Structures are given as C-alpha cells and as structure tokens.
Amino acid sequence: MSLFVDTSIWYASGLVWSAPGQVLFSKIGKVPHMGIVTSLESRIGERDVYSPVHEEAMAHRSSASPDGKWVILVEMDKDHMWGPCRLVPMDATSVGHHVGPPKAACTSGGWSPDGRWMYFSSNAGGLFHIWRQRFRNGKLEQLTSGPTEEEGIAMAPDGRSLVTAVTLESVSVWLHETRGTRQISLEGNAAEPKFTPDGRKLCYRIVAKAPNSLQFTREAGPLWLADLESGRSSPLVSDFPVLAYDISLDGRQVVLEAEDREGKPRLWLTTFDHQLPPRQIPNVEGRQASFGPAGELFFRGEDGFVYRVQADGKELRKAFEQPILILKGVSPDGKWIVGWSRLADGDAATQAFPVDGGSPVLVSGWIYWRWAPGANSLSIAHTPEGQSYIIPLPPGQALPAIPAGGFRSEEHMARLPGARKTDALMAIPGPSPDVYAFYRSTTQRNLYRIPVP
C-alpha cells in the first residue's frame, strides 16, 4: 500500500509506521518549531505525541515501541544542537525523559522486537556509535567502536542483529588562488575557516566529526592557525576546544566561544602572539560572537537577542529589539547584522538588520553568507550545499543589491554585478575575489549487519 503525504502543506518528515494504518512523523508548526505527531494514514485523527517546550527546538525523528505505547525520539535544542534521545509515552501524558548516553548527541533510535531493549546512535566519546539500554532506565552498553561512525538503526525481525550505515568521512580545508588550489588542513576534520584581515593566514578548527551544513560550527575542537606563505599550521591555543570564533578587524585578537565547567556558553579573548591564555569576558553568557569596529563584540544571548559589549564586559546592551534564531554575521563596518529570524507572519527567514535602527532587509529563506576581510566582497549560496557566488562590494557598502523579496533562487545571485560562480562548497572569501578557502570531503558509506549479543 502506498502512502501519500503532502509535505508542502504538512511540513512533515521522518515518516514511519507505528501500527497497521497508523503513522508517526515530525511536523513543523511555527518555523522552526517541530514536534512529533501521529495519525491514521488517511490523515484522520492527528494528535500531538511530543512538542518541545522551547519554540525554537525541533523533534526530528521517532520510533514507536513494538507495543505502540512508547516513542523514542531525537531532537535539537533551541540552539539547534542535537541532544540525547528522549523516551515519551505515545498517549502524550508526559514529556518523558532522556535515555541513552547522557550529555551526548543522539541522531537515531530503535527497539528490539520484544521491546526490552532501546538502541541509539550517539556520539558519546566523540564519534557516533551504536549503544543500547534496557527499557526504561537500564545500564548502558556500547555495541560498536573504532574510527568509523554508525548512524541509523534497522532491527532484524529476530532481534539478533541490526543494520546500520557505517561511515568513514573526512573534511579538509583547501585554498584557491590564482596559481591553483592546495590543501591547508592535513589532519582531522577541519571546520569554520576564516582569513586574518591581512589575508596571510587562515584559521580553522579541528573537530572529531566531519562538518555538515547544519552543525559544522557546533562541534567543539581546538583552533589552528595556518601561515599561507610557509604552509605551516599549529594550534593557536592548546587544550582549549571551542565551538565558534571570530577575528578582530585589526588582526590582533580572537574571540572564542567555549562552555565553562557548568556547561554554560561563555566568550573568551586571546591573542595571536601566544602571550596570554584565553581570558573570559566577565558578565557575558552567549554564543556566535563577532567583532565589530573598534573591538566591540556582538553575540547571541541565551534569550535569543543580539547583544553588544566591550571586550572588558562593560556597556552590555541589546543591539536591537528583534530575537534571532541563528546569528550569521556582523558586517565589518558594524552597521548590519545578518541572522535567521522570524517574519511578521511567524515564519523564519534570513534578514539583514540595521544596527542604528530601521526596518530589516529580507535576504532569503535560508542562505550561506560570509564577508571577506576588508569587506570588499561577499560569499553567498542559496543553500549550504549549493555552489557559492563571490560578489564584489563597492567601497562603503556592506550589502549587495538584494532584490525585492530577497534571493529566491540561485539565478538572482548570478544576476548581481560582478558575481562569480565557484565550484566550491561554502566558499570563504579571502583578500581578493580570486582567493577563497573551501571544503573538500571524502566519504565512504556502506550498510552493515551488526550482530547483537
């Protein structure tokens, strides 16, 4: 029997059978909020099973227990970071509780045919492996290990094995210049490359899991610095894994986002000369920090608003009265803040907000956006997986000529004056339009049957 779901109306994903004639799936309400619902295959009798408390959290995938009374689901928190799996009752009488490895990302869940075991794909320890746990709060057992990662769980009918996708993946950072391309990062998975203002060095982070379009900035790892002339790379700060960073406009300082011992997001400052260890900015709790002119910092607070603060923690205040779901960047002149935020109708889109007041400019539903050092160009892509365009910016202008209604297609980007299409994935612009950094990945993925003890 075929099953038809009009996702343009339902905004549905993660569709699975939960019983004969019954389906379980994720449904977007007020973007980006996503909950788990169930209904008959005819769409009759739809009801909520689980709805995250925070309006920006998302429950993505789910798996019903064999008796249909329980659901394992995977979800992202308000900062769009994967959390542990959650066990909830199918009748929605409670929000349930976390299961599987604690304080780790969980992206898949499953059940043994008799319902006695719960299975998880979790990155506890750094890489995604298969774990299991006795229903409901039994002792955890790790089933797989090693340099590969395992994601997705399909149990065999007899419960003696499971099928999963075993992956070996790596991502490196490369440099494109007039004389050709060359690899910059030589070990681990590289993420979030950024040029120093003079264009002579390139920063990047080394992370355990290969970056992806949604979370490549949310994997903690040490920050490295590559000298592009000599080709040498070395850690900027040893034994200090960071989630995100930015470079000051004078090229002297770096702001780091890292969690403290209590797991709270904090901002730290360090220098390129290795003279001082990272220093925490007092009175600040937030993420996605960017430098503005004269060393001022902008960041997204835990309440979703963008704040500005001096490097010593003083003069903390809101940048503007509009919450941001994801902060994408601050223009080098400090006049514009680009972020994914809600529109008047409740939907979300990328917008450019003038710091000095005024109406925001609609940029796109979703867009990859990076300014070059010196703000002489901009790299944009209609989706993170799409090819990038390098857009030259006239002196004194931080934004390109955005069409009315925003960039609705790649064609709109191609029409911009001087637009140059690259073959690079998420190009990071350098000091000139011919110089940019980009990702190059290698992936080996196959399905394997894993015996269950």
pLDDT tens digits for 397-440?
Answer: 999 999 999 998 888 999 999 999 998 878 999 998 889 999 88
Task: Report the pLDDT averaged over residues 256-274.
Answer: 92
Task: Report the pLDDT averaged over residues 165-181.
Answer: 92
Q: Is residue 210 assigned to a domain?
A: no
Q: What is the extent of the structural domain holding 145?
A: 7-159
Q: Is residue 262 assigned to a domain?
A: no
Q: Is residue 93 assigned to a domain?
A: yes
Contact assessment for residue 124 and residue 99, using Cβ atoms and an 8 Å cutoff: no
Angstrom distance (rounded) from CA 70 to CA 327: 36
Q: What is the largest CA-CA distance in the chain?
A: 68
**Residue 31 pLDDT exceeds 90:** no
Higher-scoring residue by pLDDT: 183, 433: 183
Residue 211: its pLDDT value, please? 58
Considering its fold, how many domains does the chain have in total?
2
Which residue type does 319 have?
Answer: A
Residue 8: its pLDDT value, please? 36
Residue 335: its pLDDT value, please? 93
Q: Is residue 242 assigned to a domain?
A: no
Residue 384: its pLDDT value, please? 58
Contact assessment for residue 368 and residue 426, using Cβ atoms and an 8 Å cutoff: yes
Contact assessment for residue 120 and residue 106, using Cβ atoms and an 8 Å cutoff: yes
Which CATH number is 139's domain given?
2.120.10.30
Hey, what's the torsion of the CAs at 61, 262, 189, 350, to 10 degrees? Answer: 60
Residue 210: its pLDDT value, please? 64
Q: Is residue 247 assigned to a domain?
A: no
Q: Is residue 44 assigned to a domain?
A: yes
Work out the mean pLDDT of the chain and round it to a whole number: 90
Q: Is residue 184 assigned to a domain?
A: no
Residue 78: its pLDDT value, please? 84
**Residue 9 parent element (H or E):** helix 7-10
User: What is the pTM (predicted TM-score) of this model?
Assistant: 0.83
Angstrom distance (rounded) from CA 146 to CA 450: 14
Q: Is residue 229 assigned to a domain?
A: no
Model confidence pLDDT, tens digit, residues 53-105: 988 899 999 999 999 999 999 999 987 889 999 999 999 999 999 999 999 99
Contact assessment for residue 87 and residue 71, using Cβ atoms and an 8 Å cutoff: yes
